[in-house]
Amino acid sequence: MPAASAARHTAYLLLWPGMDAAVFLATDRTASNNRPTRTECGMALLNIGLGFILLRDVFGLTKNFSPLLVGWSGMVGVMLILHFGLFQLLSCFWRANEIDAKPLMNEPARSTSLADLWGNRWNIAFRDLMHRFLFKPLVPHFGARGATWLGFAISGMIHDVVMSVPPNGGYGQPTLFFLIQAAGLMLERSSLGRTLGLGRGWRGWLFAMLVLIGPSPLLLHRPFVEQIVVPFVLAVRSL
């Protein structure tokens, strides 16, 4: 297989947040079967616009509300701008140029199970990193179930370092959030979960959304929101 050009390497390092370098740099395959649609690109632009509205509070929707609401609106705004906006547009650009750069957010709202959400749709870059360097090395020692528990626990601890140490509060809550996700996966794959249909169809979708959204305040806990996110949002709004 021909080696990727220096320009392709530079593009991957500077203009793509994904972690699957081998796919992006491959020269013997294209994204011709996964070319972006106008609707996909239009939705990315719409998400950027909505994100700026939430981040800048154009209509003053949160100015008379609690700092927690200000912080949450800002976080949703940043996520819409980056993960569902700019990163999506980058994916559209590279795929239009026949480079296989799959979207990092693969329509998570269409997940049909918790496994589908975390394995195929939510933040694929982080998923690829954890799967390659954590889950796969752990499986031979702890089995798939043990590796799943450990993988989510370590992911939680990483988020604790990022989200609990800076505000010096909320310790353990992000880790608990990810342990709940692991427990949800175990239930989904159990005989009871299969009987209840938690891994498919509308029941799988509903279960995934409940397990993701219900405990989300543990991940995006109050100290992080009020001491880190709110000052950032207010600084942006003062520009």
Predicted confidence at residue 33, as pLDDT, reads: 66
- pLDDT for 131 equals 86
Two structure tokens written together for 39: 């609707």
pLDDT in tens, the chain (239 residues): 457 788 888 988 999 988 888 888 887 765 556 889 999 999 999 999 999 999 888 777 777 778 888 899 999 999 999 999 999 999 999 999 888 888 999 999 999 999 999 999 998 888 888 888 888 899 999 999 999 999 999 999 999 999 999 999 999 999 999 999 999 999 999 999 999 999 999 999 999 999 999 999 999 999 999 999 999 998 888 88
Cα-only R_g, the chain? 19
User: What tokens does 215 get?
Assistant: 């405990």
pLDDT at 186: 97
pLDDT confidence of residue 31: 55
Q: What is the pTM of this model?
A: 0.89
113: nearest Cα among 191, 40, 178, 187 = 187
